[in-house]
């Protein structure tokens, strides 16, 4: 209930697919991923008679802490001056090597990215917390929402292109077919005007594809989609100078084809005012528009990872990298220390959401935790992997 949250003070959360999103907080960085958000890395190497299990979870948002996000935005508030971002991602990969060349695996991928402007964040926070408005203020309300839930099968192979005393280059490619079960894709635009310090009026319109309608309660006929896409990776090692470069691109040319998918074009305006016990206005919005079923091709936004790693003496590595999704850049740096032939520990700092992390990795197991704090964290990433021998 994004828009009705703003107009009528309902208790649902914005930028949330449904209650399963809380599962991100329970997930156990992996041999398959970039450092921050979940990725599948086609250049990863696998061994015969091993199965790899990887779970990657990441949740972050700009305006409020995770606790306050799930508690109706009550509490501390520190929005960005421009776009305010909310990200939720969960990825699971289970696979093994066949014919000594090909990785065959099952994957589950669930992600959503929401983007609001500062006006939307300010108005929503003020309304949910019964804060007084500055009179005669005008709000431009903008929201974009993109998400998908899918699972399927993937085949991947990495090919050593060059392996000399000086240079090592690996090219990796993956192709997948998926069964898609959820979608959130749409945008909202509108405006609001403050009448008094406790009352306002607002109008907005939205175009919206969905399986779970967040605007208002609506029973729809469930459907599903068939998806496909590519992942590519390139790894380069310069041995004389002791550095690596890794590039990963996920969801290239990725599509999901839906039949009879619910679509709404909705115009909403405030009406039927009531004053609550705190003297603030509440609304029962007037809704008009179009509700239909359409065949729809969803273009899934690619995401990219780039990192450069420098090897130093004493088994210490320094890495600088960036993850990019839908024009959101998440840069980071990390320093790692190899403890022995099989164990390594790494410290990570991520700049976009100001989070810190620690990662432990050995020959068969890895575990990492990232956050920007303890009591009022607005970022949490907990992920890990395990290699099973058979």
Q: How confident is the model at residue 371 (pLDDT cuts 50, 70, 90)?
A: very high
Instruction: Please give the structure tokens belonging to residue 1.
Output: 């209930």
Structural domain of 109? 2-159+178-230+256-302+363-389
Q: Rounded to an integer, what distance in angstroms lies between the CA atom of residue 246 and that of residue 236? A: 6
Give per-residue pLDDT as tens, 310-333. 999 999 999 999 999 999 999 999
**In sequence order, what DSSP letters do the residues of 181-243 get, joined into one string?**
EEEEEEEEEEEEEEEETTEEEEEEEEEEEESS-SSS--------EEEEEEEEEEEEEETTTTE
Element (H, E) at 123: helix 118-128
Q: Report pLDDT digits (tens) over 22-52.
A: 333 333 333 444 579 999 999 998 888 899 9
Judged against a pLDDT cut of 80, whether residue 109 lies above it is answered with yes
**Residue 370 backbone dihedrals phi, psi, to 5 degrees:** -135, 145
Contact 31, 366 (CB under 8 A): yes
Which has the higher per-residue pLDDT, 147 or 133? 147
Burial of 129 (0-12, 13-18, 19+ CB in 10 A): middle
171, part of any domain: no
Q: Which tens digit of pLDDT belongs to each residue from 179-221?
A: 999 999 999 999 888 777 667 778 889 999 999 887 777 888 9
User: Residue 319 domain-assigned?
Assistant: no
> Which two three-digit tokens encode residue 264?
């709404």
| Secondary structure element (H or E) that encloses residue 105, with its range | strand 102-116
In a domain? residue 245: no
pLDDT-based confidence at residue 150 (cuts at 50, 70, 90): very high
Is residue 4 helix, strand or coil?
helix
Per-residue confidence band for 129, with pLDDT thresholds at 50, 70 and 90 = confident
pTM of the model: 0.87
User: Residue 25: inside a domain, yes or no?
Assistant: yes
Give the count of domains, the chain: 1
Q: What is the mean pLDDT of residues 137-154?
A: 93
Q: Tell me whether residue 65 is in a domain.
A: yes
- CB of 3 within 8 A of CB of 204? yes
pLDDT confidence of residue 83: 92
Is residue 273 included in any domain, yes or no? Answer: yes
In the predicted structure, residue 273 carries a pLDDT above the cut 80? no
Task: Determine the pLDDT at residue 278.
Answer: 66
Check if the beta carbon of residue 380 is closer than 8 Å to that of residue 370.
yes
Is the pLDDT at 15 greater than 60, yes or no? no
Residue 338 included in any domain: no
User: Is position 117 within any domain?
Assistant: yes
Q: Are 290 and 310 in contact (CB under 8 A)?
A: no
The CA–CA distances, whole Å, from 189 to 2, 11, 144, 206, 384 equal 12, 21, 9, 7, 39
């Amino acid at each position: 209930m994004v828009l009705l949250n703003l107009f009528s003070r309902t208790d649902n959360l914005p930028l949330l697919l449904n209650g399963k999103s809380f599962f991100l907080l329970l997930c156990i960085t992996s041999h398959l991923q970039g450092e921050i958000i979940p990725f599948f890395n086609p250049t990863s190497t696998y061994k015969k008679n091993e199965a790899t299990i990887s779970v990657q979870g990441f949740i972050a948002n700009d305006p409020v802490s995770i606790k306050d996000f799930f508690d109706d935005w009550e509490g501390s508030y520190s929005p960005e001056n421009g776009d305010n971002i909310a990200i939720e991602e969960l990825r699971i990969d289970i696979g093994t090597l066949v014919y000594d060349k090909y990785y065959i695996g099952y994957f589950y991928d669930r992600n959503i990215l929401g983007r609001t402007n500062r006006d939307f964040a300010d108005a929503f926070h003020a309304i949910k917390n019964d804060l007084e408005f500055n009179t005669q203020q005008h709000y431009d309300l903008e929201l974009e929402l993109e998400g998908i839930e899918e699972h399927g099968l993937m085949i991947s192979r990495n090919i050593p292109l060059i392996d000399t005393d000086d240079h090592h280059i690996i090219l990796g490619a993956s192709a997948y077919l998926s069964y898609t079960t959820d979608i959130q894709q749409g945008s909202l635009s509108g405006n609001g005007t403050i009448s008094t310090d406790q009352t306002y009026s607002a109008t907005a319109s939205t175009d919206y594809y969905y399986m779970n309608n967040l605007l208002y309660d609506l029973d729809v006929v469930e459907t599903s989609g068939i998806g496909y896409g590519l992942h590519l990776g390139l790894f380069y090692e310069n041995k004389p100078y002791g550095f690596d470069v890794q590039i990963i691109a996920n969801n290239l040319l990725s599509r999901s084809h839906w039949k009879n998918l619910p679509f709404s074009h909705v115009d909403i305006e405030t009406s039927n005012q009531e004053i609550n016990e705190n003297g603030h206005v509440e609304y029962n919005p007037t809704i008009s528009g179009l509700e239909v079923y359409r065949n729809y091709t969803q273009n899934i936004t690619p995401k990219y990872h780039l990192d450069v790693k420098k090897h130093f003496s004493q088994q210490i590595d320094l890495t600088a990298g960036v993850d990019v999704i839908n024009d959101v850049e998440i840069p980071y740096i990390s320093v790692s220390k190899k403890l022995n032939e099989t164990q390594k520990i790494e410290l990570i700092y991520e700049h976009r959401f100001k989070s810190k992390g620690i990662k432990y990795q050995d020959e068969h197991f890895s575990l990492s935790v990232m956050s920007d704090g303890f009591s009022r964290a607005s970022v949490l990433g907990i992920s890990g992997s395990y290699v099973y021998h058979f």
